[in-house]
Amino acid sequence: MNSGEMKFLVIGVVLALGAASIPIVSDGYWLSIATTAMMYIALSTSWTLFSGPTHLIALSTGAFFGIGGYLVGSGMSDYDQSFWLMAIIAPVVATILAMLIGLATLRLSGVYFVIFTLGLAEMIRNLVSWVQNNFLGSRGLYVLTDFTEAHIYWMLLSVATIVFLAGWLINRSRLGFALRIIGNDEQVARHVGINTAWSKVILFMTTGFFAALVGAIVAPRYSYIEPNVVFSPQLSFLVVIMALLGGIHRLWGPLVGVIPFTLIWEAISISFPNSTTLFLGLSFLLIVYFIPNGFVGLFENLTGRMRK
């Protein structure tokens, strides 16, 4: 470990400890914002693990998140299983599914993959409805636990921390190196003997695992799971937008995207409750126009210029 990495590690630990103390400082409003932000930090960062190096825009977050929420709801409501068991099963199921989807689609070139992932959440939601309708039935999926918002927040924080550690380890590994080559030029990567398909599939599985885990943890916060709410295409887009706002070529990029995004979003919701979508659209335009490489790009550009 060199001194630069040491510095990042120290900053990371300080940030994590700071974040962990939020529920002690605020129990109400700010905690609920922090919980939503932490959910998006975990989702966007795990999304970046895959999409950052490969440059493949995956719109599948909603699908995996939905699997997490739905399995927890179904397991607890229909089969009287404990939350913890379902929170373990759900990400495993999502990981297997991500593998199957990855094997089927990641051999294709970029745009086909994007289109496929776009339809994925909808496809799984319909599949779930079909199974419920023909085999299981439905009695409403209640996730009634004794967790408070602080518990959910701490669980999400732990997941986010693990995502960061995983991302850091992957970046240092042969796999991370391989992915960067794939992202730059897949032809070259194949010629130097990298198994491009499997490298991408493994990273896609990691993303699926974490998205489902987050979905499972958030389920008790929603208390009642409706398939068309958890399998939300909007979630997939928000995750991508927040990650792009931060910048996806650094692991910590989404982090600096999610926090201002959540605060601006909150300010818009308070000030213009009747036209939030309009102002959201305007802020996207401004972001794309003025900071195309995200906050990280802006930051690196400016520090680079200063050095000159």
Partner 1 sequence: MNRRTIMVSFSSALLAAGIAGLTAASVIAADPIKIGVVSHLTGPLAGGEAVTHTPNIELWAKQINDRGGLKVDGEQRPVEIITYDDKTDPAEHIKAVQRLATQDEVDYMLSPYGTGFNIAAAPIYAKYNYPLVAVSAITDKIPELSKRFPNMFFTLGTTSGFVEGVRDTLVTMRDAGTIGNKIAMVNVADAFGIELADTARPILTEAGFEIVYDKSYPLGTPDISPVVKGAKASEPDAFVAWSYPPDTFALTEQAIIEDLDVKAFYTAVATCFPAYADKFGAKIEGNLGAGGINPDTPAMQAYRKAHKEVTGKEADYWASATYYASLQVLEQAIEGVGSVDREATIDYIKNNSFDTVLGTISFDENNNSERYWSVGQWRDGVFRAVADTGMGDSVPAVAKEGWN
CA distance 202 to 198: 6
CA distance 109 to 113: 7
Q: Does 39 bind partner 1 (CB under 8 A)?
A: yes
Out of 1, 2, 29, 80, point to the residue binding partner 1 (CB under 8 A).
29
Out of 23, 36, 45, 118, point to the residue binding partner 1 (CB under 8 A).
36
> Rounded to 5 degrees, what are φ and ψ at 142?
-95, 130
In the complex, minimum distance from the CB of residue 50 to partner 1, in angstroms, rounded to a whole number: 23
Out of 20, 32, 151, 181, point to the residue binding partner 1 (CB under 8 A).
32
Q: Does 24 bind partner 1 (CB under 8 A)?
A: no
Out of 267, 281, 282, 284, point to the residue binding partner 1 (CB under 8 A).
267
SS3 (DSSP) at 31: helix
Out of 226, 233, 293, 297, point to the residue binding partner 1 (CB under 8 A).
226
First to last CA, the chain: 28
In the complex, minimum distance from the CB of residue 122 to partner 1, in angstroms, rounded to a whole number: 10
CA distance 306 to 295: 16
Going by C-alpha positions, the residue among 215, 194, 251 that lies closest to residue 66 is: 215
Q: Does 158 bind partner 1 (CB under 8 A)?
A: no
Please spell the DSSP secondary structure of 50-65, one letter per residue. HHHHH------HHHHH
Out of 4, 192, 274, 308, point to the residue binding partner 1 (CB under 8 A).
274
In the complex, minimum distance from the CB of residue 201 to partner 1, in angstroms, rounded to a whole number: 30
Q: Contact at 8 Å (CB) between 255 and 246? A: yes
Considering only the stretches 113-121, 188-196, 197-205, 300-308, report the one whose residues sit in contact with partner 1 under the rule CB under 8 A: 300-308
Out of 8, 20, 78, 129, point to the residue binding partner 1 (CB under 8 A).
129
Considering only the stretches 80-88, 108-116, 125-133, 209-217, report the one whose residues sit in contact with partner 1 under the rule CB under 8 A: 125-133
In the complex, minimum distance from the CB of residue 246 to partner 1, in angstroms, rounded to a whole number: 12
Residue with tokens 């990855």: 102
CA distance 77 to 259: 34
Please spell the DSSP secondary structure of 227-245, one letter per residue. HHHHS-HHHHHHHHHHHHH
CA distance 61 to 215: 10
Residues that bind partner 1 (CB under 8 A): 28-29, 31-33, 36, 39, 126, 129-130, 132-133, 137-142, 144, 218, 221-229, 232, 234, 260, 263-264, 266-271, 273-274, 276-277, 291, 295, 298-299, 302-303, 306
